[in-house]
Structure 1
Amino acid sequence: MTAEHSTADTIARYGADALMAAQRLATTPTASKAAALRLAAAAIREDATLILAANARDIAAAQASGLSGAMLDRLRLDPARLEAMAAGVEAVAGLADPVGEIIDRRERPNGLVLTRVRVPIGVIGIIYESRPNVTADAGALAVMAGNAAILRGGSEAIHSNRAIHAAMVRGLVAGGLPEAAVQLIQTTDRAAVGAMLAAEGLIDLIVPRGGKSLVARVQAEARVPVLAHLDGLNHSYVDRAADPAMAREIVVNAKLRRTGVCGATETLLIDRAYADPLPILTGLLDAGCELRGDAEVRALHPAILEANDDDWDTEYLDAILSVKLVDGVDDAIAHIAAHGSHHTDAIVTSDEATAEHFLARVDSAIVMWNASTQFADGGEFGLGAEIGIATGRLHARGPVALEGLTTYKWIVRGTGQTRP
């Protein structure tokens, strides 16, 4: 048997086990799912020392291989992040269960009563890179929405993912849920990704969470429906009517709070009619941010470097920011349409009409007014956690949490009607 066939057979076994688990989870009461997730959160806390030691192994290997600072930040766990991970699982357990929710109800003239009801999707495959917290977030969300999950994390986080997964499964099983509710593919062989993408009939939905190359491969090869999470090529636009202190604070936070997250601003657009952009630029430079711009922008400060054409289309995930002056809100909207990734874009202005124009015209999953793009996060949206930020237009958009991991079915109740 070839290695390729061996990998495909292994994924088929994962899929078969997940299918059986999904059938049980689909009808598991909300209280039972919530109780099991709380036990999973407790198990993560109990295994904190083991998980942090496993993460230290991953960090050491990543540093030796030259992984970037942004990717190291995504990979790194510490006691505070581990506690946040466990708290996130508990938060999911406390959310309203979408399964069984009646979306709408109607009665036809012939007496038929039709309802649309939320149901689980089934088996969800999540392919992700770097962030070990996704192991807990994705597993918890899938289970609470009545789905089974098959997780394939990146090789750089393999030890962390294994330790987190082991703790979660121990808690879920203690709560009476099937062991295959959340499965982690143990191999780092890239062939496992291909086998997941070809697992039509075993996996109902693939969610890729990673860089452009991963998402491009998934979209090119998948024979399973894909919920795409593209790069966060986000913009903050400072309008002529922006409050100066607010603009400076928002922009610095949007870029530098955490540079390695998908909600970080990568391009700053400033209205040419804005009175004094220099305090914003010096605030960024003083905080250690490298700025890049054209000749017009570079004339504002000698430390600003020259931008090239690629900069407007680059997700830096680092303390680097492209800066451009634009002729008002419509010019900003045009730049975002040409270079954005439909993830998150923000306007800073005191003019309500301008803000509403921007909110209506920018075609992104998340559009903000007077707020940092770093709020692009399921937890900040009150969703408990997220499986990713969907940038497409179908099924789900923006932070994908419990509701995004369900579909619906029609239920028709009759009293003996036949169609003439």
Structure 2
Amino acid sequence: METLIELGKKAKQAERYLAQASTTAKNEALLLMAEGLLDDKTAILEANHKDLEQAEVNNTSESLMDRLTLTTERVEAMAQGLKDIAKLPDPIGLVESMWTNEAGLKIGKQSVPLGVIGIIYEARPNVTSDAAGLCFKSGNAVILRGGKDAFHSNLAVVSSLQKALSACDLPETAIQLVEDTSRHSANEMMTLNRYLDVLVPRGGAGLIKAVVENATVPVIETGTGNCHVYIDQSAQLEMAKDIIVNAKTDRPSVCNAAETLLIHKDVAEEFLPEIEDALNKWDVVLHADDKAQKHLNDSLPASEKDWEKEYLDYELAVKVVDSLDEAITHINKYSTGHSEAIVTNDYFSGQRFHKEVNSAAVYVNASTRFTDGFAFGFGAEIGISTQKLHARGPMGLPELTSSKYIVFGEGQIR
């Protein structure tokens, strides 16, 4: 088992090679990676089966089992994701602008790779191929550190990707997996400043909090999604019902699923019994405040912790509010800055919601489930950034670049 320092040294060597790789070479490699995943599908699914067996022994929740599970269709989707990345414009080498200063120097701002990206993530083996493909296309070497729950799956996927790189005469070390899944390796990765240029955590609130608070490597904070849907008094209630059912039940284990329903007092009596009946089909547990409980048949009393919680399961916090102001105040207080939605038939309410809600994605009359690189048309994503510096929202290829100034002179001195 290689040490993190050994992986870091190899990644730095691969970084220099990738910086020179042509767009054609990178795209050909991505297509070969995609074909490799399909060719190795049986081995990948067998590896995933080992992880699933252990997850059952560990009494893993249904929602986390869903995130861990690979199927034929999901492996095919991973391969398609790599093909889609190959079709995207190469973000490297673009000159944003060019100008001449008073001294006659021609100055340009050019996009360049970040360098070596470290990614710490949990039980989502599809992240392995998505992240590797995006980092590779943007000229970055990547060191992946997945959770122990998906170890066999991740190892099988990375092995497949590395075979494709080797077949294209590209360094296999452009994509590497940390095989030590202990907490020690995660802690060491957080301080690998000499070899990592940036660290991206993807996972639950605990993981992200640990990385943000302890890393000395620059961090792009992603993922935790305490997402809200607010039903305004002017909302079309049938539309509102469809949106909240989709936002909560389509895939409750992902970060863009709704976790809190806010509803205006004027429509609570009519709407809450309807939404309770609709969510009962999925056995959604409702945690409601006193005002909401009056209109519900079966709910648990909500506590302060419920307004802060990312359930990632078939659970939903419910609160009745007196006004749009109260809804916005509640969201900005408890939100993790991911995705929020308002359902309204009032143009000005929608505009206020857009302007005053302080999150990476803000919707009017649409489900929060659309906060996703594919849905936004970016191809695969490295994660959803909930911070404001460098990148915010779904992180595609452009967010995996930095810039440098290129300067042309004719002997000028100052």
- The TM-score by the shorter chain falls in which range? over 0.9
Does residue 244 (structure 1) correspond to residue 259 (structure 2)? The answer is no
The answer to whether the 8 A contact 2:282-2:314 is kept is no
Does residue 393 (structure 1) correspond to residue 388 (structure 2)? The answer is yes
| 1:409 maps to which of 383, 400, 404 | 404
The answer to whether the 8 A contact 1:348-1:371 is kept is yes
Deviation at 1:110, TM superposition (A): 2.8
| 1:103 maps to which of 96, 120, 124 | 96
Residue pairs, 1:340-359, within 5 angstroms: 340-359=335-354
Question: Alpha carbons of 1:327 and 1:103: their partners in 2 closer, same or farther (altered >3 Å)?
Answer: farther
| Distance in 2 between residues matched to 1:235 and 1:113, nearest whole Å | 49
Does residue 233 (structure 1) correspond to residue 226 (structure 2)? The answer is yes
The answer to whether the 8 A contact 1:123-1:149 is kept is yes
| 1:285 maps to which of 280, 295, 301 | 280
The answer to whether the 8 A contact 1:172-1:179 is kept is yes
Does residue 370 (structure 1) correspond to residue 382 (structure 2)? The answer is no
RMSD over equivalenced CA pairs, Å: 1.3
Match of 2:138 in 1: 145
Q: Which runs of 5+ in 1 are unaligned?
A: 1-6
Q: Which amino acid is the alignment partner of residue 222 of structure 2?
A: H
Residue pairs, 1:127-142, within 5 angstroms: 127-142=120-135
Residue 345 of structure 2: SS of its match in structure 1? coil
Length-normalised TM-score, structure 2: 0.97
Residue pairs, 1:188-207, within 5 angstroms: 188-207=181-200
Match of 1:50 in 2: 43
Q: Which amino acid is the alignment partner of residue 327 of structure 2?
A: A
Does residue 262 (structure 1) correspond to residue 229 (structure 2)? The answer is no
Match of 1:4 in 2: none
Match of 1:123 in 2: 116
| 1:170 maps to which of 153, 156, 163 | 163
Match of 1:80 in 2: 73
| Distance in 1 between residues matched to 2:167 and 2:24, nearest whole Å | 14
Deviation at 1:385, TM superposition (A): 0.6
Does residue 302 (structure 1) correspond to residue 297 (structure 2)? The answer is yes
Q: Tell me which moved more, 208-217 or 231-240.
A: 208-217
Q: Which runs of 5+ in 2 are unaligned?
A: none
| Distance in 2 between residues matched to 1:354 and 1:191, nearest whole Å | 49
| Distance in 1 between residues matched to 2:199 and 2:335, nearest whole Å | 24
Match of 1:70 in 2: 63
Length-normalised TM-score, structure 1: 0.96
The answer to whether the 8 A contact 1:228-1:390 is kept is yes
Deviation at 1:286, TM superposition (A): 3.2
Deviation at 1:175, TM superposition (A): 2.1
The answer to whether the 8 A contact 1:206-1:226 is kept is yes
| 1:27 maps to which of 20, 31, 44 | 20
| Distance in 2 between residues matched to 1:72 and 1:84, nearest whole Å | 18
Q: Which amino acid is the alignment partner of residue 267 of structure 2?
A: Y
Match of 1:15 in 2: 8
Match of 1:3 in 2: none
| Distance in 1 between residues matched to 2:99 and 2:262, nearest whole Å | 48
Residue 38 of structure 2: SS of its match in structure 1? helix
Deviation at 1:178, TM superposition (A): 0.7
Identity %: 43
| Distance in 2 between residues matched to 1:273 and 1:407, nearest whole Å | 49
Match of 2:267 in 1: 274
Residue 26 of structure 1: SS of its match in structure 2? helix
Residue 295 of structure 2: SS of its match in structure 1? coil
| Distance in 2 between residues matched to 1:191 and 1:242, nearest whole Å | 50
Does residue 212 (structure 1) correspond to residue 191 (structure 2)? The answer is no
Match of 2:325 in 1: 330
Partner deviation per Cα, 1:144-188 (whole Å, 9 max, x = no partner) = 000000000000000000111111111122123211010011122
Deviation at 1:383, TM superposition (A): 1.1
Deviation at 1:18, TM superposition (A): 0.3
| Distance in 1 between residues matched to 2:202 and 2:217, nearest whole Å | 16
Q: Which amino acid is the alignment partner of residue 192 of structure 2?
A: A
The answer to whether the 8 A contact 2:261-2:316 is kept is yes
Q: Which amino acid is the alignment partner of residue 385 of structure 1?
A: A
| Distance in 2 between residues matched to 1:356 and 1:104, nearest whole Å | 33
| Distance in 2 between residues matched to 1:387 and 1:230, nearest whole Å | 10
Match of 2:172 in 1: 179
Match of 2:376 in 1: 381
The answer to whether the 8 A contact 1:149-1:182 is kept is yes
The answer to whether the 8 A contact 1:36-1:176 is kept is no
Residue 217 of structure 1: SS of its match in structure 2? helix
Q: Which amino acid is the alignment partner of residue 409 of structure 1?
A: K
The answer to whether the 8 A contact 1:273-1:328 is kept is no
Q: Which amino acid is the alignment partner of residue 53 of structure 2?
A: A
Q: Which amino acid is the alignment partner of residue 149 of structure 2?
A: E
